[in-house]
Protein backbone atom coordinates (compact mmCIF):
# COMPACT_ATOMS: atom_id res chain seq x y z
CA UNK A 1 0.00 0.00 0.00
CA UNK A 2 1.21 3.48 -0.91
CA UNK A 3 0.12 6.94 0.14
CA UNK A 4 0.75 9.93 -2.14
CA UNK A 5 0.83 13.73 -1.96
CA UNK A 6 -2.41 13.85 -3.96
CA UNK A 7 -4.07 11.60 -1.39
CA UNK A 8 -2.78 13.78 1.44
CA UNK A 9 -4.35 16.85 -0.19
CA UNK A 10 -7.57 14.94 -0.89
CA UNK A 11 -7.68 13.90 2.77
CA UNK A 12 -7.49 17.46 4.12
CA UNK A 13 -10.18 18.57 1.65
CA UNK A 14 -12.51 15.75 2.49
CA UNK A 15 -11.93 16.16 6.22
CA UNK A 16 -12.81 19.83 5.78
CA UNK A 17 -16.09 18.92 4.06
CA UNK A 18 -16.98 16.53 6.87
CA UNK A 19 -16.18 19.10 9.55
CA UNK A 20 -18.21 21.80 7.78
CA UNK A 21 -21.19 19.39 7.54
CA UNK A 22 -20.92 18.57 11.25
CA UNK A 23 -20.05 22.01 12.54
CA UNK A 24 -23.28 22.40 14.47
CA UNK A 25 -23.11 18.89 15.90
CA UNK A 26 -19.55 19.44 17.19
CA UNK A 27 -20.64 22.72 18.70
CA UNK A 28 -23.56 20.99 20.45
CA UNK A 29 -21.23 18.35 21.87
CA UNK A 30 -18.88 21.05 23.10
CA UNK A 31 -21.70 23.12 24.60
CA UNK A 32 -22.62 20.09 26.72
CA UNK A 33 -19.20 19.63 28.34
CA UNK A 34 -16.83 22.32 27.03
CA UNK A 35 -16.98 25.94 25.95
CA UNK A 36 -19.05 25.46 22.81
CA UNK A 37 -16.49 26.63 20.29
CA UNK A 38 -15.15 23.36 18.89
CA UNK A 39 -17.31 23.23 15.75
CA UNK A 40 -16.83 26.88 14.86
CA UNK A 41 -13.10 26.84 15.53
CA UNK A 42 -12.34 23.67 13.62
CA UNK A 43 -14.57 24.69 10.72
CA UNK A 44 -12.66 27.95 10.41
CA UNK A 45 -9.27 26.24 10.73
CA UNK A 46 -9.89 23.54 8.14
CA UNK A 47 -11.51 25.98 5.72
CA UNK A 48 -8.34 28.09 5.91
CA UNK A 49 -6.17 24.98 5.57
CA UNK A 50 -7.96 24.11 2.29
CA UNK A 51 -7.65 27.70 1.05
CA UNK A 52 -3.91 27.48 1.69
CA UNK A 53 -3.69 24.14 -0.18
CA UNK A 54 -5.63 25.60 -3.11
CA UNK A 55 -2.85 28.14 -3.57
CA UNK A 56 -0.78 25.14 -4.62
CA UNK A 57 3.00 24.97 -4.75
CA UNK A 58 3.40 22.02 -2.38
CA UNK A 59 4.69 18.81 -3.86
CA UNK A 60 5.41 16.56 -0.94
CA UNK A 61 3.34 15.03 1.84
CA UNK A 62 5.44 16.60 4.58
CA UNK A 63 4.83 20.10 3.20
CA UNK A 64 1.07 19.48 2.91
CA UNK A 65 0.84 18.35 6.53
CA UNK A 66 3.17 21.02 7.85
CA UNK A 67 1.28 23.85 6.17
CA UNK A 68 -2.02 22.40 7.39
CA UNK A 69 -0.66 22.23 10.94
CA UNK A 70 0.64 25.80 10.87
CA UNK A 71 -2.72 27.02 9.55
CA UNK A 72 -4.65 25.18 12.27
CA UNK A 73 -2.29 26.61 14.89
CA UNK A 74 -2.95 30.17 13.83
CA UNK A 75 -6.63 29.96 12.91
CA UNK A 76 -8.17 27.78 15.60
CA UNK A 77 -8.57 29.69 18.84
CA UNK A 78 -9.34 26.90 21.31
CA UNK A 79 -7.14 24.11 22.63
CA UNK A 80 -7.87 22.13 19.47
CA UNK A 81 -5.74 24.58 17.41
CA UNK A 82 -2.41 23.83 19.05
CA UNK A 83 -3.35 20.15 19.48
CA UNK A 84 -4.40 19.45 15.87
CA UNK A 85 -1.70 21.87 14.71
CA UNK A 86 0.96 19.90 16.59
CA UNK A 87 -0.41 16.61 15.24
CA UNK A 88 -0.09 17.73 11.61
CA UNK A 89 3.26 19.46 12.14
CA UNK A 90 4.63 16.25 13.68
CA UNK A 91 3.32 14.20 10.74
CA UNK A 92 4.79 16.79 8.38
CA UNK A 93 8.15 16.53 10.09
CA UNK A 94 8.16 12.74 9.86
CA UNK A 95 7.33 12.85 6.12
CA UNK A 96 9.42 15.83 5.05
CA UNK A 97 10.30 15.76 1.36
CA UNK A 98 8.39 12.50 0.72
CA UNK A 99 6.05 12.40 -2.28
CA UNK A 100 4.94 8.82 -1.94
CA UNK A 101 5.26 6.64 1.10
CA UNK A 102 4.63 3.10 2.24
CA UNK A 103 1.91 2.45 4.76
CA UNK A 104 4.43 1.76 7.49
CA UNK A 105 5.73 5.34 7.05
CA UNK A 106 2.21 6.69 7.46
CA UNK A 107 1.81 4.63 10.62
CA UNK A 108 5.07 6.05 11.99
CA UNK A 109 3.94 9.59 11.19
CA UNK A 110 0.70 8.99 13.07
CA UNK A 111 2.70 7.66 16.02
CA UNK A 112 4.68 10.92 15.99
CA UNK A 113 1.40 12.86 15.98
CA UNK A 114 0.11 10.90 18.98
CA UNK A 115 3.30 11.66 20.86
CA UNK A 116 2.98 15.36 19.96
CA UNK A 117 -0.64 15.57 21.10
CA UNK A 118 0.22 13.87 24.40
CA UNK A 119 3.13 16.21 25.03
CA UNK A 120 1.29 19.39 24.06
CA UNK A 121 -1.92 18.61 25.96
CA UNK A 122 -0.25 16.73 28.83
CA UNK A 123 -3.10 14.23 28.62
CA UNK A 124 -2.88 10.60 29.66
CA UNK A 125 -4.83 7.77 28.07
CA UNK A 126 -8.21 7.62 29.78
CA UNK A 127 -8.47 11.38 30.39
CA UNK A 128 -11.34 11.58 27.86
CA UNK A 129 -9.57 13.58 25.20
CA UNK A 130 -8.84 13.24 21.49
CA UNK A 131 -5.78 11.22 22.49
CA UNK A 132 -8.09 8.38 23.52
CA UNK A 133 -9.05 7.89 19.86
CA UNK A 134 -5.67 8.78 18.31
CA UNK A 135 -3.89 6.01 20.23
CA UNK A 136 -6.12 3.12 19.10
CA UNK A 137 -6.19 4.58 15.59
CA UNK A 138 -2.39 4.57 15.45
CA UNK A 139 -2.52 0.91 16.48
CA UNK A 140 -5.12 0.15 13.82
CA UNK A 141 -3.08 1.77 11.01
CA UNK A 142 0.02 -0.15 12.09
CA UNK A 143 -1.88 -3.34 11.32
CA UNK A 144 -2.99 -2.20 7.84
CA UNK A 145 0.11 -2.80 5.72
CA UNK A 146 -1.95 -4.76 3.16
CA UNK A 147 -4.93 -2.45 2.99
CA UNK A 148 -7.64 -0.87 5.08
CA UNK A 149 -10.74 -2.83 6.01
CA UNK A 150 -13.28 -0.03 6.29
CA UNK A 151 -15.75 -2.12 8.26
CA UNK A 152 -13.13 -3.14 10.82
CA UNK A 153 -12.08 0.51 11.08
CA UNK A 154 -15.63 1.73 11.65
CA UNK A 155 -16.34 -0.99 14.23
CA UNK A 156 -13.17 -0.04 16.06
CA UNK A 157 -14.15 3.65 16.10
CA UNK A 158 -17.68 2.94 17.22
CA UNK A 159 -16.41 0.87 20.15
CA UNK A 160 -13.75 3.36 21.11
CA UNK A 161 -16.09 6.38 20.93
CA UNK A 162 -18.55 4.55 23.15
CA UNK A 163 -15.76 3.70 25.61
CA UNK A 164 -14.57 7.33 25.64
CA UNK A 165 -18.14 8.52 26.18
CA UNK A 166 -18.25 6.62 29.47
CA UNK A 167 -15.00 8.12 30.77
CA UNK A 168 -14.82 11.02 33.20
CA UNK A 169 -12.95 14.03 31.79
CA UNK A 170 -9.68 14.84 33.53
CA UNK A 171 -8.29 17.46 31.12
CA UNK A 172 -9.68 20.60 29.54
CA UNK A 173 -12.83 22.54 30.25
CA UNK A 174 -14.87 19.33 30.62
CA UNK A 175 -12.87 18.40 33.74
CA UNK A 176 -14.72 21.17 35.64
CA UNK A 177 -17.84 19.03 35.32
CA UNK A 178 -16.40 16.08 37.23
CA UNK A 179 -18.52 12.96 36.88
CA UNK A 180 -21.20 14.87 34.99
CA UNK A 181 -18.95 14.57 31.94
CA UNK A 182 -19.65 10.81 31.95
CA UNK A 183 -22.11 9.80 29.22
CA UNK A 184 -21.19 12.69 26.92
CA UNK A 185 -19.10 12.37 23.78
CA UNK A 186 -15.74 14.12 23.84
CA UNK A 187 -15.92 16.67 20.98
CA UNK A 188 -12.20 16.27 20.18
CA UNK A 189 -12.55 12.50 19.88
CA UNK A 190 -15.54 12.93 17.55
CA UNK A 191 -13.75 15.44 15.31
CA UNK A 192 -10.71 13.13 15.28
CA UNK A 193 -13.02 10.36 14.11
CA UNK A 194 -14.06 12.52 11.11
CA UNK A 195 -10.40 12.90 10.23
CA UNK A 196 -9.69 9.19 10.49
CA UNK A 197 -12.87 8.19 8.68
CA UNK A 198 -12.07 10.38 5.68
CA UNK A 199 -8.47 9.13 5.64
CA UNK A 200 -9.55 5.48 5.74
CA UNK A 201 -12.11 6.04 2.99
CA UNK A 202 -9.37 7.47 0.77
CA UNK A 203 -6.99 4.65 1.64
CA UNK A 204 -9.57 1.97 0.89
CA UNK A 205 -10.48 3.61 -2.46
CA UNK A 206 -6.91 3.35 -3.63
CA UNK A 207 -7.39 -0.43 -3.62
CA UNK A 208 -5.37 -3.11 -1.93
CA UNK A 209 -2.52 -3.18 -4.44
CA UNK A 210 0.89 -3.20 -2.88
CA UNK A 211 2.52 -1.15 -5.62
CA UNK A 212 6.25 -1.68 -5.83
CA UNK A 213 6.59 -2.75 -2.22
CA UNK A 214 7.41 -6.33 -3.20
CA UNK B 1 16.71 49.25 37.09
CA UNK B 2 14.70 47.16 34.65
CA UNK B 3 11.53 45.60 35.93
CA UNK B 4 10.11 42.14 35.29
CA UNK B 5 7.60 42.23 32.43
CA UNK B 6 4.06 40.98 32.86
CA UNK B 7 1.96 39.32 30.15
CA UNK B 8 -1.78 38.82 30.54
CA UNK B 9 -3.37 36.10 28.39
CA UNK B 10 -7.10 35.60 28.07
CA UNK B 11 -9.65 34.09 25.72
CA UNK B 12 -11.27 37.52 25.72
CA UNK B 13 -9.58 40.71 24.51
CA UNK B 14 -11.95 42.86 26.55
CA UNK B 15 -11.15 40.95 29.72
CA UNK B 16 -7.40 41.58 29.59
CA UNK B 17 -7.86 45.09 28.17
CA UNK B 18 -9.87 45.99 31.25
CA UNK B 19 -7.36 44.33 33.56
CA UNK B 20 -4.54 46.16 31.83
CA UNK B 21 -6.21 49.53 32.51
CA UNK B 22 -6.71 48.63 36.14
CA UNK B 23 -3.06 47.65 36.53
CA UNK B 24 -1.64 50.63 34.66
CA UNK B 25 -3.36 52.85 37.17
CA UNK B 26 -1.68 50.86 39.94
CA UNK B 27 1.84 51.27 38.54
CA UNK B 28 2.44 52.69 35.05
CA UNK B 29 6.17 51.93 35.26
CA UNK B 30 5.77 48.15 35.10
CA UNK B 31 6.06 46.75 31.54
CA UNK B 32 2.71 45.19 30.77
CA UNK B 33 1.40 43.52 27.59
CA UNK B 34 -1.79 41.67 26.74
CA UNK B 35 -2.74 38.85 24.38
CA UNK B 36 -6.51 38.47 24.33
CA UNK B 37 -8.66 36.63 21.82
CA UNK B 38 -7.72 35.07 18.49
CA UNK B 39 -6.06 36.79 15.55
CA UNK B 40 -9.55 37.46 14.18
CA UNK B 41 -10.63 39.00 17.46
CA UNK B 42 -12.85 36.05 18.37
CA UNK B 43 -12.95 34.30 21.73
CA UNK B 44 -9.88 32.10 22.04
CA UNK B 45 -6.12 32.47 22.32
CA UNK B 46 -3.32 32.75 19.81
CA UNK B 47 0.24 31.52 20.30
CA UNK B 48 1.43 34.19 17.84
CA UNK B 49 -0.19 37.00 19.82
CA UNK B 50 1.21 35.64 23.07
CA UNK B 51 4.71 35.49 21.59
CA UNK B 52 4.44 39.12 20.46
CA UNK B 53 3.21 40.21 23.88
CA UNK B 54 6.12 38.46 25.61
CA UNK B 55 8.60 40.12 23.26
CA UNK B 56 7.08 43.53 23.98
CA UNK B 57 7.77 43.39 27.72
CA UNK B 58 10.75 41.05 27.87
CA UNK B 59 13.52 42.69 29.86
CA UNK B 60 16.86 41.46 31.15
CA UNK B 61 14.90 40.63 34.30
CA UNK B 62 12.54 38.41 32.31
CA UNK B 63 8.77 38.19 32.13
CA UNK B 64 5.92 36.33 33.79
CA UNK B 65 2.83 35.10 31.94
CA UNK B 66 -0.58 34.86 33.60
CA UNK B 67 -3.53 33.23 31.86
CA UNK B 68 -7.23 32.61 32.35
CA UNK B 69 -8.15 29.05 31.28
CA UNK B 70 -6.50 25.80 30.19
CA UNK B 71 -6.13 26.20 26.46
CA UNK B 72 -4.43 29.55 26.99
CA UNK B 73 -1.73 27.57 28.77
CA UNK B 74 -1.17 25.33 25.75
CA UNK B 75 -0.72 28.34 23.48
CA UNK B 76 1.49 30.14 26.02
CA UNK B 77 3.80 27.11 26.18
CA UNK B 78 3.93 27.01 22.39
CA UNK B 79 4.72 30.73 22.23
CA UNK B 80 7.63 30.29 24.65
CA UNK B 81 9.04 27.42 22.57
CA UNK B 82 9.23 29.82 19.61
CA UNK B 83 11.40 32.31 21.52
CA UNK B 84 15.19 32.25 21.17
CA UNK B 85 16.71 29.86 23.69
CA UNK B 86 18.31 32.63 25.74
CA UNK B 87 14.92 34.31 26.26
CA UNK B 88 13.04 31.09 26.99
CA UNK B 89 14.54 30.56 30.43
CA UNK B 90 13.65 34.10 31.45
CA UNK B 91 9.93 33.55 30.94
CA UNK B 92 7.76 31.94 33.62
CA UNK B 93 4.18 30.84 33.26
CA UNK B 94 2.55 31.35 36.64
CA UNK B 95 -0.15 29.20 38.22
CA UNK B 96 -2.23 32.03 39.63
CA UNK B 97 -5.70 33.58 39.47
CA UNK B 98 -5.57 36.14 36.65
CA UNK B 99 -6.79 39.27 38.47
CA UNK B 100 -5.27 38.80 41.93
CA UNK B 101 -2.12 37.19 40.53
CA UNK B 102 -1.51 40.00 38.06
CA UNK B 103 -2.16 42.62 40.74
CA UNK B 104 0.39 40.97 43.07
CA UNK B 105 2.89 40.60 40.20
CA UNK B 106 2.65 44.30 39.28
CA UNK B 107 3.23 45.32 42.89
CA UNK B 108 6.25 43.02 43.23
CA UNK B 109 7.73 43.97 39.86
CA UNK B 110 7.23 47.65 40.71
CA UNK B 111 9.24 47.12 43.90
CA UNK B 112 12.11 45.80 41.78
CA UNK B 113 11.53 42.14 42.56
CA UNK B 114 13.41 39.43 40.66
CA UNK B 115 11.74 37.07 38.20
CA UNK B 116 11.53 34.37 40.88
CA UNK B 117 10.05 36.81 43.41
CA UNK B 118 7.46 38.17 41.01
CA UNK B 119 6.44 34.66 39.99
CA UNK B 120 6.22 33.51 43.60
CA UNK B 121 4.19 36.52 44.73
CA UNK B 122 1.72 35.99 41.89
CA UNK B 123 1.42 32.33 42.73
CA UNK B 124 0.88 33.09 46.43
CA UNK B 125 -2.19 35.09 45.42
CA UNK B 126 -3.84 31.72 44.88
CA UNK B 127 -3.87 31.08 48.64
CA UNK B 128 -5.11 34.53 49.58
CA UNK B 129 -8.57 34.52 51.13
CA UNK B 130 -11.00 37.12 49.85
CA UNK B 131 -13.38 36.98 52.80
Q: Which of B42, B46, B74 sits opposite A121 (nearest CB)?
A: B74
Mean pLDDT of A31-42: 90
Which residue of chain A comes nearest to B76, CA vs CA? A82
Which positions in chain A touch B43 (Cβ < 8 Å)?
A: 37, 77
User: Range of A77's domain?
Assistant: 2-205
Which positions in chain A touch B77 (Cβ < 8 Å)?
A: 120
* Strand boundaries in chain A, DSSP class E: 2-4, 100-102
Confidence of residue A30 (pLDDT cuts 50, 70, 90): very high
pTM score of the predicted model: 0.89
Which residue of chain A comes nearest to B68, CA vs CA? A173
For residue A39, pLDDT over 90 is answered with yes
Q: Which residues of B touch A (CB under 8 A)?
A: 11, 37-40, 42-48, 69-71, 74-75, 77-78
Q: Are A190 and A38 in contact (CB under 8 A)?
A: no
For residue A129, pLDDT over 50 is answered with yes
Identify whether A211 is part of a domain.
no
Q: Above pLDDT 90, what percent of chain B?
A: 90
Q: Are A66 and A88 in contact (CB under 8 A)?
A: yes
Identify whether A141 is part of a domain.
yes
B46/A77 CB distance under 8 A: yes
Identify whether A210 is part of a domain.
no
Mutation target to probe the B interface, by most B beta carbons within 10 A, among A33, A75, A81, A173 is A81
How many domains does one find in chain A?
Answer: 1
For residue A71, pLDDT over 60 is answered with yes
CATH of the domain at A145: 1.25.40.340
The pairing of beta strand B63-67 with beta strand B32-36: unpaired
Mean per-residue pLDDT of chain A: 93
B74/A79 CB distance under 8 A: yes
For residue A210, pLDDT over 60 is answered with no
Identify whether A119 is part of a domain.
yes
A120/B47 CB distance under 8 A: no
Confidence of residue A88 (pLDDT cuts 50, 70, 90): very high
B11/A73 CB distance under 8 A: no
Q: What domains are there in chain B, each with its CATH number? A: 5-127 (3.40.50.510)
pLDDT, tens digit (0-9, with 9 covering 90-100), for A134-157? 999 999 999 988 889 999 999 999
Identify whether A35 is part of a domain.
yes
Q: Which of A37, A73, A173 sits opposite B43 (nearest CB)?
A: A37
Mean pLDDT of A107-134: 96
Which positions in chain B touch A120 (Cβ < 8 Å)?
A: 74, 77-78
Length of chain B: 131
CA gyration radius, chain B = 13
Q: For residue B41, give how far its alpha carbon lies from the nearest alpha carbon of chain A (Å).
A: 10
* Strand boundaries in chain B, DSSP class E: 5-10, 32-36, 63-67, 91-93
Which residue of chain A comes nearest to B49, CA vs CA? A74
Identify whether A213 is part of a domain.
no
**pLDDT at residue number A207:** 62
For residue B51, pLDDT over 50 is answered with yes
pLDDT, tens digit (0-9, with 9 covering 90-100), for A185-195? 999 999 999 99
Identify whether A163 is part of a domain.
yes
Active-site residue numbers of B?
Answer: 11
Q: Which of B47, B48, B71 sits opposite A78 (nearest CB)?
A: B71
**pLDDT at residue number B22:** 97
A37/B70 CB distance under 8 A: no
Q: Which of A140, A142, A135 is nearest to A152 (CA)?
A: A140
Identify whether A142 is part of a domain.
yes
Which residue of chain B comes nearest to A122, CA vs CA? B74
Length of chain A: 214
Q: Which of B44, B75, B77 sits opposite A41 (nearest CB)?
A: B44
| Cβ contacts from A onto B, under 8 A | 46
**pLDDT at residue number A209:** 45
A10-17, long-range: CB within 8 Å, 24+ apart, which pairs?
A: A10/A202, A11/A198, A11/A199, A11/A202, A12/A46, A12/A49, A12/A50, A12/A53, A12/A64, A12/A68, A13/A50, A13/A53, A14/A198, A14/A201, A14/A202, A15/A46, A15/A194, A15/A195, A15/A198, A15/A199, A16/A46, A16/A47, A16/A49, A16/A50
Amino acid sequence: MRFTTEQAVAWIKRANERIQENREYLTELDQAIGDGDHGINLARGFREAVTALDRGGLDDIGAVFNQTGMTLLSKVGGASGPLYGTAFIKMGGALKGRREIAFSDLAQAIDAAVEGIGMRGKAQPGDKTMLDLWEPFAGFIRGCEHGVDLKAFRDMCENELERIKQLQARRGRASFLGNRSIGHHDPGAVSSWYLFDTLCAILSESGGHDGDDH
Amino acid sequence: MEKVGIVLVSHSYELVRGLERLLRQLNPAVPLAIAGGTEEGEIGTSAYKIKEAIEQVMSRQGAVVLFDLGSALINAELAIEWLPEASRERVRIVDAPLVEGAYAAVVQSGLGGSLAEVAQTAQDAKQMGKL
